Amino acid sequence: MLKIRKAVLPVAGLGTRVLPATKTIPKEMLPVFDRPAIQYVVDEAREAGIEHIVFVTGRNKSAIEDYFDRAYELEDTLRLKGKTDILETLESEVPEAGSMSFVRQQAPLGLGHAVWCARELIGREPFAVLLPDVIVRAKPGCLAQMVDVYNREGGNVIAVEQVPEDQVSSYGIIDPETHDGRVMKMRGMVEKPSRESAPSNMSITGRYILQPEIFDLLSSQAKGAGGEIQLTDAMDGLMKSQSFHAVEYEGGSFDCGNKAGYLRAFVRFALDHAEEGQNARDVVEQVLKDR
């Protein structure tokens, strides 16, 4: 079985739900306490053994490329001022040379189209997709839990989590055929079903391990919901010839693509912070008292 070495991070969306904050800043660069959202997702990928990340970018996204480069002037100034702790943090987060690629999606035609844009850089091997506006808080990381299942089952693997039954119509929902603890063999999936027709309350989290045949389907995939080329539609097609397993991973997710989810993530990761967590708690409690 081929190892999962590469991951696609699609970052070409317009982020209209977090405007005006995202007018000139990519939503993936919004700080979640003291680090941009994208850093959490790159760390999750690295923890799972990913060696190469392909970013699918668009216009106004160059800040992401710069973030993963060295900042010589800044580093030099920090060195001169003796600010060694933060300097070490910055240096440790610069990826190994050649371990990231960037490809443009010239128009935001949908998530399926964004993934297809990475086809030449991925080649014919299984790969991961991580939606970077979803930050998952999990130990081990969500993708690492999925790789574990992939190493047993092969095929395609997606992460799912339970949502309240009255909210299923906001999510992509899976149709599980058999359960084995937290792992389910899937027979289908449906985008935003009504509460009555939903096959389960397991929603798709934004983490996927896919076989390269997905690119063949995406190359002729018709537009779906919202007039966009949808990854879900191509996965549904691939399910006719390949196995799909869903993992109910241990942990929780934060959708930073909307304002409430972003705020939740910001507060949660501030409270979790090793050095600043207690300060953050005091600040939050004070703000609530002051209202």
* The one segment of 5-13, 63-71, 196-204, 261-269 that binds ligand UTP by CB under 6 A: 5-13
Query: Which amino acid type is present at position 53?
Result: I
Q: Does 17 bind ligand UTP (CB under 6 A)?
A: yes
Least spacing, CB of residue 191 vs ligand UTP, in Å: 12
Q: Cα-flanking dihedrals φ and ψ of residue 189, to 5°? A: -155, 155
Of residues 33-72, which lie at the interface with ligand UTP (CB under 6 A)? 56
Q: Which of 126, 119, 121, 128 is nearest to 218 (CA)?
A: 119
- The values of phi and psi at residue 7, to 5°, are -135, 145
Q: Which is nearer to ligand UTP, 61 or 245 (CB)?
A: 61
Structure tokens of 66?
């710069």
Of 273, 243, 222, 246, give the one whose Cα is nearest residue 35. Answer: 273
- Given a contact cutoff of 8 angstroms between Cβ atoms, the answer to whether 188 and 240 are in contact is no
Please report whether residue 155 would count as binding ligand UTP according to CB under 6 A. no
Q: How many whole angstroms separate alpha carbon 7 and alpha carbon 89?
A: 24
Q: With CB under 6 A as the contact rule, which of the stretches 15-23, 148-156, 233-241, 259-267 interacts with ligand UTP?
A: 15-23
Q: Give yes or no for a contact between 103 and 130, defined as CB atoms under 8 angstroms apart.
A: no
Q: Least CB distance from residue 17 to ligand UTP, whole Å? A: 3
Residue from 186, 257, 261, 269 in contact with ligand UTP (CB under 6 A) = 257
Q: Which of 7, 48, 54, 114 is close enough to bind ligand UTP by CB under 6 A?
A: 114
Kindly calculate the radius of gyration of the chain based on its CA atoms and give it in whole angstroms.
20
Residues contacting residue 255 through CB under 8 Å, at least 6 positions apart: 133, 134, 261
105 binds ligand UTP (CB under 6 A): yes
Amino acid at 96: E
Residue closer to ligand UTP by CB (options 145, 230) is 230
CB of 13 to ligand UTP, least distance (A): 2
If the CB atoms of residues 81 and 259 are measured against ligand UTP, the closer one turns out to be 259
- Out of 36, 126, 132, 172, the residue judged to bind ligand UTP by CB under 6 A: 132
Residue 236's nearest CA partner among 208, 217, 212, 211 is 217
- Residue 10 binds ligand UTP (CB under 6 A): yes
In the complex, minimum distance from the CB of residue 280 to ligand UTP, in angstroms, rounded to a whole number: 27
Binding residue for ligand UTP (CB under 6 A) from 41, 131, 190, 238? 131
Q: Which CB, 113 or 207, lies closer to ligand UTP?
A: 113
Question: Among 38-46, 108-116, 186-194, 195-203, which window interacts with ligand UTP (CB under 6 A)?
Answer: 108-116
Residue 167 in tokens: 């909210």
Q: Cβ of residue 83: shortest distance to ligand UTP, in angstroms?
A: 33
> What is the DSSP secondary-structure string of 224-273?
-GGGS--HHHHHHHHTTTS-EEEEE-SSEEEETTSHHHHHHHHHHHHHH-
In the complex, the residues that contact ligand UTP under the rule CB under 6 A are 10-17, 56, 105, 108-111, 113-114, 131-133, 257
